[in-house]
Amino acid sequence: MIPEEYFSILGFNNKAECILQENSIVIRPIRDNVSEDISEYILAELVEEGYSGQELITKFKETRRKIRPAVENLLSEADDIAKGLKKSSTLEDVFKH
């Protein structure tokens, strides 16, 4: 059970995601407007790369179609880590030179 004060402060509704992180479980609210945030990020990146007009629209659609498979891949990998089928990366693994 999440304490009511945290529930309100963090903006939980009826959905949450659980992430296994080393020896801890992180519980975060799932926000309904995530796709809007991602869309804004994609558009900003594409504009920064110099796309505009119809080319921007085409590239945006291509990029957006890649999001779901990427997220599904991440979730599958997280499940494998949680089941002990795959080793997770440590901060040292990620940041070593």
| pLDDT tens sequence across 30-63 | 766 555 678 888 999 999 999 999 999 999 999 9
- Arithmetic mean of pLDDT over the chain: 83
The pTM score is 0.49
Asked if 25 contacts 19 with a C-beta cutoff of 8 angstroms, the reply is: yes
Whether the pLDDT of residue 2 is over 70: the answer is: yes
HEC-encoded secondary structure of the chain: CCCHHHHHHHCCCCCEEEEEECCEEEEEECCCCHHHHHHHHHHHHHHHCCCCHHHHHHHHHHHHHCHHHHHHHHHHHHHHHHCCCCCCCCHHHHHCC
**Alpha carbon distance 38, 34 (integer Å):** 6
